[in-house]
Amino acid sequence: MPDLINGLVAITPTSVTRTGTGSTASINSDGSVVFGSCNTLTVNGVFSSAYDNYLINIRYLYVSGLDYLSMRLSSNGTDSVSGYAYQRFEADGTNFVAARSMSETSGLIGYGSMTESGVSVYLYSPFLVETTSYRSIGATYYTGSGFYEPIGEHLVSSSYNGFTLRDLITPRTKSGLLTVFGFNQ
């Protein structure tokens, strides 16, 4: 990991943990994680004292159906399952939705379908013993192009070194590739 480069630095997870019948996952030599048919995917050991803020880039699709993609912060593989709050904007054709959720068990980060979707999550201070904030920018295609932009907080002042991807409406299988970057300031 080149410490002297300013900007985004790709981070290799210490491990990834998957669930789901027939699921697959592996860590590429460049630090990216490729996953297939996972119900949940936990990415371990990516947040540390090296950086305060991070960018998680994800491309993914659901094997069937469509759902909201959500995230839980984790510490040594154990998820934090409370204290999430978020506000989302959705634009789907002429439909525009703005909604707020409080006291949730995970943080909404995107909306996916059976067509390849993408989401970029800016994550602020997950490793610091402070509350964590995020801003997510996503694109997906279902009946047409749509954009989905949640922002949120994890209102628990603890340190986390990883995160788990899961679904918001029902457990689904999803496949894709993700990379975690640290902001080297």
Partner 1 sequence: MPVEPFEITTIYPDGTSETRWSTPEEIAQREADIVAFEDDRVAREAAEAEHAAKRESAKAKLATLGLTPDEVSAAFGL
Q: Interface with partner 1 by CB under 8 A: which residues?
A: 12-19, 23, 25-27, 44, 77, 79, 81, 94-96, 105, 166, 168-171
Cα-based angle 128, 132, 137 (whole degrees, multiple of 5)? 130
What's the min distance (Å) between Cβ of 65 and partner 1?
Answer: 13
> Which CB, 104 or 116, lies closer to partner 1?
104
Task: Indicate the residue among 53 and 146 with the shorter CB distance to partner 1.
Answer: 146
Pick 45 or 118: Cβ nearer partner 1: 45
Q: Within 10 A of 150 (CB to CB), how many other CB atoms are there?
A: 26
Tell me the C-alpha distance between 105 and 167, whole Å.
11
Residue 114 CB, shortest distance to partner 1, in Å, is 20
Q: How far is the CB of 27 from partner 1 (least distance, A)?
A: 5
Pick the closer one to partner 1 by CB: 3 or 96.
96
Query: Of 87, 85, 44, 74, which Cα lies nearest the Cα of 158?
Result: 74
Residues with Cβ within 8 Å of residue 113, at least 6 apart in sequence: 61, 62, 65, 66, 140, 141, 142
For residue 128, the minimal CB distance to partner 1 (Å) is 25
